[in-house]
Structure 1
Amino acid sequence: MSKMLCKSVFLLALLFGLVAAARPQFHHGQKISKLSGDALIQAACDGVSLGGDESECVSTLKSATPDQKADANALALFTLRFVENHAENITTAIKKISAVPDVGPFLQSALTDCMEQYNSLDDLIEDANDAVSSHSYPDAQKFIMAGFSSVELCDSQLKASNFEEKAENKTGEDVVMARDLTKYVLLHKKLLAATLNILTLD
């Protein structure tokens, strides 16, 4: 087996491992959370990092207005709109990294996949917004889960690419930018997971 084929098989295994390990366990239900304020925010962010740092999720939700924090429906809409408004930053960053000369093949593949996933994310978030606004929570959960899966795939592809670049001790501008991009994508994943928590936890 060639060295390149071995690497490809290893990265594929790593990618599926990352996807399996990074997925929070969501509860499915028909009712939105009855919590409000700090208790709602803490419950929303609980578990979104699988025991890791949830402070970014908490600080983002705390930036909502008092009225939004007081009502689970309003906080879910705030969180979805936050992701929607910042998704453009992701696609802009992808284009900037892709424009850097001599982008590695693994990173370029990850960027292409991420662009495809984020191009479909807008419609999913918009559909989720409409469903939450009309209190159609089971429908909202389906759209958010689809959006989460898109962001999760982008996140996993970037992490696999970062692992490969690190193994080869690459430190170019594109590598540094990709690592920063991974952080923003991870935040989106956390916030979509938090929105699902808001829609399903008692």
Structure 2
Amino acid sequence: PIDLLVVAVPPKETMAVLRDLQTNNLVVDVASIKQPIMQAANHLPHFVGGHPMAGTDETGFLGRKKVRFNQASFFLVGNDADCRRIMTLLSPLDSRFETVDATEHDALIALTSDATHLIAQALVATLAVNASGEARPFIGPGFRDTTRIAAANPELWTQILLANRVATTEAVTNFMIELQRLWELLVDNNAAELLAALTAIQQIRREY
């Protein structure tokens, strides 16, 4: 007997597989977008939408070495009984399982993951377009840390961003509002308010 079917392919392919799948077995996926996935699987009696926060910027078989499920958040969308079965079956992963609503999941992931990829990519593009001469000697840990995820698979991230485009668009819009606020303080040479803003941001970051 089959205890669990795991669908582990990119979002577009995940939806295609789920639409064609006919089974009464317990099924889980691992894509980072949940609303369209849940819709594609609404005919499956025991489907749980899964999202382990264990991805990296590498792809393919060799990229597996950087994937770490241990203590990573693993979100589950589905009925309580099926989610509990998933937690039991996947307990050897030692992940931090948490049930969540699909809409809430996608909105928060847009803020913490999807928008950050676009922002990192925009930073790299800004450097490429505006740097005069050889910029490599001027690139330090700050730029590398901030833009590491811009090296992720473009095809995969095109799928992810488009699948969650409404929430991601809102997240990027909110980012631009905050960036505009800091930009204005810089333009105004407002040292006191800039310091206060950066200090508040530092405190928030330390909480994560």
TM-score by length of structure 1 reads 0.31
Higher strand residue share: 2
More helix by share: 1
Larger Rg: 2
TM-score under structure 2 normalisation? 0.31
Q: Give the number of the structure with larger relative contact order, counting CA–CA contacts within 8 Å between residues 6 or more apart.
A: 1
